[in-house]
Amino acid sequence: MRAAVLTVMAGLVAASANPIVATYISEVSGAEGNEFIELAALPWPGHFRDLRGWTLETSTSCCTLLCSLDCEQLIVIDRAVVAEGILARGTFAVNPDTEHIILTDTQGHQEEVSYPAQVGPSGSLAPGQLTSACRVNFDNFRAQSINWYLDSTPTPGEYNDDYASVFGRIRGSGGELFGYYVVTVSGPNGCVYDDGADTLTYRAAGLNPGTYSVDVEAWIENVRYEGSYPGSVEVPYAEWVTGIDVVIPMTGIRESELSIRPALLGPGVLLDVTGRRVMELGPGENDISQLQPGAFFLRREEDDYTHKVVVQR
Ligand SMILES: [Ca+2]
Ligand SMILES: [Ca+2]
């Protein structure tokens, strides 16, 4: 077994793990008479965010937000609320077929969405008159899925729903169960991930219709294996495609990395994937021998700077 020690450096850090990407623009509709932009704090909707003073620009309008996102809340900005000066003040308009939206926080950080360029890498997807562009932003442990899909039944004020998902089982060629795996489902209309620890089944959620390939990286102890679903997977609109099982050849590569895939930051806390506080972290080495293998988040409390780590044994 590897050393179960997590080293926390004082100050900033090693950029070897990707930071979690937080997003706020959740859904966009340019349908005439029903234009709206939905805001949600993703991938953790429990996260409070004060949006007052943030600006929301489109190609033909600009408004300043007057609201905050409370726990699990979604906020809908439309012409009516802007006209009444309730949640925002200024102007508001969204085009259906081509648009560039910029959300700017009070520090000047910007989140941008443009369609059709961004909503589907094929460059052919725009929400149009009858659909909305919806974002999925799930943090699946090490593998964060951020993707856009088109939804024919918009959900202003509710979580986005009609994306497609791919389900299956991950096993070794001798029936082996992997300690940890990451599944990647990718194609011209998007890419999503799932991962799992000590389980056979995966669900990769958040897809547009289209043709996808399914690839897997998997580990038993510190040996890494790779496999793919043979052939491509046809994904219909808003459906669950099941039985996409991947059998992985048991020819692996022994990894020499540390058992913690590291993102080292200043003193903070270790959270589990539900956001529950697992332990306080001090500078230097922290004994994590009591932790089960899996994914955790290191969070520096003073500014919520967060990195994912994966504990493997
Ligand atoms: Ca829907
Ligand atoms: Ca929605």
How far apart are the CA of 69 and the centre of ligand 2, in A? 14
Using alpha carbons, list the distances in angstroms from residue 229 to 198, 214, 243, 245.
20, 5, 10, 7
Question: What ligand has the least distance to the C-alpha of 155?
Answer: 2
> Greater confidence, 307 or 125?
125
Strands 210-220 and 62-65: unpaired
Residue range 149-197, pLDDT digits in tens: 999 999 999 999 999 999 999 999 999 999 889 899 999 888 898 988 8
How far apart are the CA of 160 and the centre of ligand 1, in A? 6
Residue range 254-284, pLDDT digits in tens: 754 333 333 334 567 888 877 788 888 776 5
How far apart are the CA of 21 and the centre of ligand 1, in A? 24
CATH of 164-254, one of 1.10.3720.10, 2.60.40.1120, 2.120.10.90, 3.30.2130.30: 2.60.40.1120
Question: What ligand has the least distance to the C-alpha of 149?
Answer: 1
**pLDDT number for residue 242:** 97
In the chain, where does the domain assigned CATH 2.60.40.1120 lie? 164-254
Strands 23-29 and 132-140: antiparallel
pTM strictly above 0.85 = no
Residue of 243, 264, 246 whose CA lies nearest to 308: 264
Residue range 74-121, pLDDT digits in tens: 999 999 999 999 899 999 999 998 999 999 999 999 999 999 888 866
How far apart are the CA of 161 and the centre of ligand 2, in A? 7
How far apart are the CA of 167 and the centre of ligand 2, in A? 23
How far apart are the CA of 156 and the centre of ligand 2, in A? 5
Question: What ligand has the least distance to the C-alpha of 160?
Answer: 2
Residues 153/127, Cβ–Cβ less than 8 Å: no
Kindly state the average pLDDT of the residues 128-138: 90
Question: What ligand has the least distance to the C-alpha of 158?
Answer: 2
